[in-house]
Chains A and B, each alone.
Chain A
Amino acid sequence: MNPLPVMAGAAAAWGLAALIALTCGSTRAGIRASCAVSGLGGAAALAAGVSALLSGNSRVVTAGGSVVVGTLQLQATSLAGVFVALLGLIAVATALYAPRYHEPGHTTGLYLGVFNLAVLASLAVLVAGNVVTFLVAWETMALLCYLLILRRPRRSEVAAGAFWFLALSEVGFVAIIAAFVILAAKTHTMQLDLIAARAHLVSGDWRVAAYLLALTGFGFKAGLVPLHVWLPEAHPVAPADGSAFLSGLITKLGVYGIALFGFVLLPGGPAWRGILTMAAGAVTAAIGILYALNERDIKRFLAFSTIENIGIIVTAFGAAMTFLAYGQRLLWAFLLLAGLYHVANHGTYKTLLFQEAGVIEHVTGTRDFDRLGGLAHRMPRSSVITFLGTLGIAALPPLNGFVSEWLIFQGLFQGFRTGSHLVAILIVLAAGTLGLTGGLAVYAFVRGYGIPFLGMPRTRQAAAASESRQPQAGPALLAAACVALAVGAPVMLAGLARAMRTVTGVTLRPVLLPGNLTVIPAHTNFSGFSPTWLTVFLLAVSAVPVLIYLAGRPRGGSRIEPVWDGGIVEFKPRMQYSAMTFSAPTRVMFDALYRPSVSVHRASDDPAGSSGPVHYESEATPIFERYLYRPVIRAFEWLADVVRPIQSGDVNLYLFYVFAAVLVAYLIAAL
């Protein structure tokens, strides 16, 4: 089946959904209709993405033609198929979520219109077949996402968060343009498939320069440290489905760009290119999760966790490139596959968690961990759905995050196959960093689930929480997708391995899946496991205590007493762990990174009297903002001050500037 017509159908549906939302988004029926059409588009995109994966070869369609801007060219490749399918799934989940999340109103109509257009633009990025189409789609996508974040522009911090997104996006865009220009100039074509075919024409230095520019440019969007600062600023101020889309898909478009350059357009290259990418990924993963651990705001916490997961994916990609430089094509293809599977997994559960964060915010009016608690009793369905997503993102078996992280680890552990001791050590070092990250991620998500959902409510709002009339279907669909991606992993990986053959040219399937639903990482003599049977086994094992309890249950005459609590008279919510005390050990261990500043203010300094209320504040130093971005911003402000005198506002003066510029241009041309 040719996926392109289906994608066109999806695009048409999203366009129509945007139209409906913009025209009649102020009524509930209008929002429902728009979301229904948008959901249909999502289903079509999901089908198209899967069929792009199954069809195995890329389709190209060209339309129009102009000397100035080139042609509009679209292509459906298997690499993009993964992302298109994820986009479709997220669109369906959002369509199920949005009608209950948003109140009808004029701004809601605008927002949903922009959202559908942003989804459409993201699809255009993924199916872009030439450079101009790609760049136009990319910039459209970025600007529409900027508008998404500006949903409630009058609230404090919204404008600032959105501006962070826009500014870093534009800086990244410059680097992306430069990377594409190098390739287009050296290969004399704008078409991505021809660039890939003529990649050998790009000489070594230009090749490295183009790749590094692309890594930087797409790294801004993906959220590689230190280019990540927009994520924690923009995510909390966007509405929940917008944050979910930003984290679930837009950051993945950055990953798509890196994969496009690293695996399709410019495969091969010096080993240090891969090692650099891998190191960037490992540092991103570790720093992302460390910052997540000390975040009090649920959405900022999730944003930092996204940075961590992007780091894991990029580590896998970097290690893959390193393996290719040492001729290990099998591991190259395998790690690309593992990274792409993590893309699908993270897109699924992060969207789920952001949507549930939106539910929590609506129900309790806060995103502060320390004002929540006890929601599991008050919101049982949301808590089960969130728990599944949490298991996934904490990479605990049997959920899907475990499968992809296991695959990535198995790839990295085979660093010895490079044959170089130094590189093997570096790759295993990256694996070690990911190990630390994985451990901290479990810690972070015990906190991220336990503090809001377990224990006692810390505020009256949390105690009064109720999940009736809150969106359930969207997150539930994503939870089901998480389970499917875990239990069905062997089948999915088989399909993905077959599809990726068109990208890598490596037949991975018989090695990856020898049957019996078992996955084997590239080489048969290393390791293997079966996600499906692991799920069955874990369910069986967890049934054992239940059976023992049922068998050994006293038949009457037993006395039920409360849990022994040490004789405490009454439990108070304040006696529980708070989110910040729970993560205090990491603040002690890693204080070199956090550089916490503590300030204590007492109402009275009288040593004899009582101190009165004490105000305690502890804050981690925002290292990247303070030491990297602030000097740059200062430099630009200084430059603006220097340039300002020539901007007098006098029309005659501006005419003189034009004249002088033309004169200088002529003089240069005459020389």
Chain B
Amino acid sequence: MTSQSATGLNVPATSEELRRTVARMFGRSLHIRTLDTGSCASCEQEIRLLAAPHYDLHRLGFFFTPAPRHADLLMVTGPMVRAFETAARKTYDAMPDPKVVVATGACALGGVYQPDPFTHGGVGGTFPVDVWIPGCPPSPLALLQGLLVAVGRLADQVKDLDFALNRTPR
């Protein structure tokens, strides 16, 4: 794995940093809930490949979960079709704090569809997005990089928590 990007990042280095952060902050267990709000499934294919042996996201301490109650990170793809908005909002509300939202792919960022009677044209209006990952579909390295940023945001929130005193985030 020696793919080198223009910014000097590469997969092994990003992976290693991710692994250390997740291990330190989340006890090697960070759960992702993916949400397809009308994507063409290319983004899903890339996300699924992250879990394949080539990148092996599980090794870094990431897991996919279908239950929003267990999820720390919401990974949204697609332009947010209006019919799905209630379900998307319910999913976000059902996730416990702290949580981050990662908008994944050009559709989710609002670059493909104009708002029309059927879609919002992006996920930004539905919930507060912490990390935007561009690309159609985003490359695995972009996804890893995005996750790293998201974990950083999440870690900031976690640091604010004092679990011993059982306080909520400030």
Contacts and interface: CB of A to CB of B under 8 A. Distances in A.
B88 A567 contact: yes
A569 B97 contact: no
A548 to B, nearest CB: 15
A561 B93 contact: yes
Nearest to B35: A567
B90 interface: yes
A380 B167 CA distance: 37
A561 B94 contact: yes
A557 interface: yes
A561 B93 CA distance: 7
A569 B94 contact: no
Interface string A561-578: 110110111000000000
A568 to B, nearest CB: 7
Contact of B94 (A554, A555, A558, A564): A564
Contacts of A565: 90
Could you say which of A555, A561, A567 has the most chain B C-beta atoms within 10 Å of its C-beta? A567
Contact of B87 (A557, A558, A561, A568): A568
Nearest to B84: A567
Contacts of B88: 567
The interface residues of chain B, by DSSP majority, are classed as helix
A558 B166 CA distance: 10
B91 A554 contact: no
A567 B90 contact: yes
A565 B93 CA distance: 12
A344 B117 CA distance: 67
The interface residues of chain A, by DSSP majority, are classed as loop
Chain A interface residue bracket vs B: 10 to 19
B166 A554 contact: yes
Contacts of B97: 559
A273 B18 CA distance: 79
Contacts of B91: 567
B86 interface: yes
B166 A564 contact: no
B167 A564 contact: no
Given A558-B168, A559-B97, A564 B67 contact: yes
Nearest to A563: B94
B86 A567 contact: yes
Nearest to A554: B166
A475 B166 CA distance: 47
A561 B97 CA distance: 12
Nearest to B85: A569
Interface in B78-104: 86-88, 90-91, 93-94, 97
B83 to A, nearest CB: 9
Contacts of A562: 90, 94
16 contacts: A554-B166, A557-B167, A557-B168, A558-B168, A559-B97, A561-B94, A562-B94, A564-B68, A564-B90, A564-B94, A565-B90, A567-B86, A567-B88, A567-B91, A568-B87, A569-B86
Interface of A: 554-555, 557-559, 561-562, 564-565, 567-569
Given A558-B168, A562-B90, 12 more contacts: A557-B167, A557-B168, A559-B97, A561-B94, A562-B94, A564-B68, A564-B69, A564-B90, A564-B94, A567-B86, A567-B90, A569-B86
